[in-house]
Structure 1
Amino acid sequence: MLTEGELRALTTLRGEQTVSELATHLERGLSYTSELVSRLEATGLVETQRQGKTKQIRLSDAKALELLAAITQEYAHIDWPELLSGATLRVLYYLETPRTATELARRSDVHRSTVHRALDPLQHRGIVYKANDAYALNEGFEQLSTLAQELAHHSHRQTVERYTDTYTILWESLDEFLVQTADEITDEAFISTGPAQFQTYDLPLVARDRRYYFYSETMDDLSPATLCCHMLVIGSGARSQSYCLLLLSHVTVDRDELREQATDYGVSGLVEDLLTYLDTTGKQRTSQLPTWEEFQELAAEYEVTV
């Protein structure tokens, strides 16, 4: 997420400084510091302003920087830039709750050995502990996970604001997010999702003015399982659940994948309700789900066999 040099610059910068002053405080060369500032300015974490021939640098108002400042001031004896650089912040993003190295590796998309290398120095300092094969943050250091999440959130906002000023991030992970907007986004990293994407499976749902996009730099298209989870994140009401029932009845969905995706998107309970409903032909249903007869009528409208 951030290099040691970038973190050191962010924790060193106080008020307004010139590149030369920051280089002096960092004890690094002018060229290196100038490149560092350019990278941080591109991320929106620092702002610059020309005053004559000099460039003044200051921290932006990103919430993540407030958290970073609070942590470094409260525990000033700890070299945070060294501890948090590399993959550490990626791993900490998912340590808001105790997790095993295997789960942390899967979620943060790093190798298990990387998880251990990232967390071992924190464990040695008493920042992280391990119990029942799961890593957890010690009391007083929970804000480290919040810091990692805020840094990712800031990055996601910077990404979407290149294309629209009016948006709502509905769900996000370390590297991906689901966004609602009224504007069309054509960048290939933004994959159309939500009601409009059901047309791909010959289910022409009525699309409203709102558009939904899933941002991912690694995914080319959405599986039915992912689309179902997106629909439940967009809206968990009766309409969204009925649409997901149509999709699950109409196409072959890998249930293991669906359950894993549902865990990541925080919709496990809803997905289990849908699967139980289909497996029992509506005999077991929640109050938000239609009767089996109502669902059969809806399915007939879309030429879906149930």
Structure 2
Amino acid sequence: MLTEGEIRALTALHGEQTVSKLATNINRSLSYTSELVERLETAGLVETRRRGKTKQIRLSDTKALELLTDLTQQYSHIDWPELLSGAALRVCYYLDTPRTATELARHADVHRSTVHRALAPLQHRGLIYQTDDGAYALNDGFEQLSVFARELAHHTHRQTVEEQADTYTILWESLDEFLVQTTTEISEEHFVPTGPDQFQRYGLPLLARDRRYYLYSETTNELSPERLCCHMLVIDSGARTQSYCLLLLSHVNIDRDELRAQATKYGVDDTVVELCTYLDTSGAQRTPRLPEWEDFQELADEYEVSL
């Protein structure tokens, strides 16, 4: 997320400084510091302006940097750049709740050994501890670490989408991915179209809307029906959307294990269980948002879906 040098520069910036002053403060060369500033400015974390022949630098107005400043001021004796460099911030993102090394490795997409190595210095300084069942957890007073990591990722996601669209809403996000709603058509390769329009790929043409939906992911090129279903429920979990998801689950060959895994990832576990139970019992077990079985049969006939 951030290198040690970048964090050191951010924590050393107080008010406005010149590049040469910042280089002195972080004990780095002028050329190295200039490169740091360029990267941080591109990331929207610092702002620069010319005053005569010198470039003045200051922190940008972002929630993540407010949190970092609070941490460094409250615990000025801690070498934060050293503790938070490497994979530490990636792991801290998922310490919003106690998690085992295996869970953290899976969520942060790193090896278990990396988790232990990244968290060992934080544990040594008393920032985190391990519970009786071996889970890592933040100590009281340091919960802000996870909030900082999340705000930093959110800032990065906003920077990414603002390069493509002026107006947007981030509907869901993780460390490396996010689901966004916009009225702008985005053709950049890492923005994968999702939402109602993608039902046409499965022979289920839904009513077109002005809004467009994209999954930003650097590792996903094409959506599975399991993921599409979960995206729809994130976008709108209303009765109409749930009926459309029922059509999709009935119409294509769904991997139930994959569906459950994606539902957990996107936080729609309960709704997906209700949909599957509804289909398995032919509507005998249904929630108020799900249609009567006879009504769903009519909708299925309209879309030529066999139940």
TM-score (norm: length of structure 2): 0.99
Secondary structure of 2:179's counterpart equals: strand
Report the CA distance between 1:176 and its aligned residue.
Answer: 0.4
Q: Partners of 1:113 and 1:252 in 2: how far apart?
A: 37
User: How many Å apart are 1:50 and its aligned residue?
Assistant: 1.3
Unaligned runs of 5+ in 1: none
Matches within 5 A, 1:229-268: 229-268=230-269
Instruction: Show the 5 A alignment for 1:112-127.
Output: 112-127=112-127
Residue-pair matches, total: 306
2:169 aligns to what?
168
SS in 2 for 1:95: coil
Matches within 5 A, 1:290-301: 290-301=291-302
Deviation at 1:254, TM superposition (A): 1.1
Cα displacement (A) at 1:231: 0.2
Q: How many angstroms apart in 1 are the aligned matches of 2:258 and 2:115?
A: 24
2:66 corresponds to which residue?
66
Give, in whole Å, the separation in 2 of the partners of 1:100 and 1:256: 22
1:103 CA displacement: 1.1
What SS does structure 2 have at the residue aligned with 1:15?
coil
Following superposition, the deviation at residue 32 of structure 1 comes to 0.4
Question: Once the 2 structures are TM-superposed, how far is the Cα of residue 194 of structure 1 from its aligned partner?
Answer: 0.4
Take 1:155 and 1:271, find their aligned partners in 2: how far apart are those partners?
Answer: 30
1:289 is aligned to 290
Alignment partners' CA distance in 2, 1:273 and 1:166: 34
Moved more, 39-48 or 252-261: 252-261
Q: Distance in 2 between matches of 1:233 and 1:177?
A: 11
Percent identity at matched positions? 75
RMSD, matched Cα: 0.7
Query: Could you say what secondary structure the match of 2:83 adopts?
Result: helix
Q: Report the equivalent of 2:277.
A: 276
Query: 1:85: how far off?
Result: 0.6
1:1-306 alignment runs, 5 A limit: 1-131=1-131, 132-306=133-307
1-structure distance, mates of 2:234, 2:178: 11
SS of equivalent residue, structure 2 residue 66: helix
TM-score, normalised to structure 1's length? 0.99
- Residue 120 (structure 1) shift: 1.3
Give SS of 1:99's match. Answer: coil
2:71 counterpart SS class? helix
C-alpha distance in structure 2 between counterparts of 1:48 and 1:253, whole Å: 52
User: Letter of the aligned partner of 2:130 in structure 1?
Assistant: K
Q: SS at 1:192's partner residue?
A: strand
- 1:30-77 Cα deviation digits (max 9, x unpaired): 000000000100100001111221111010001100000001111111
C-alpha distance in 2 between matches for 1:140 and 1:207 = 48
Of 124-133 and 84-93, more deviation after overlay is shown by 124-133
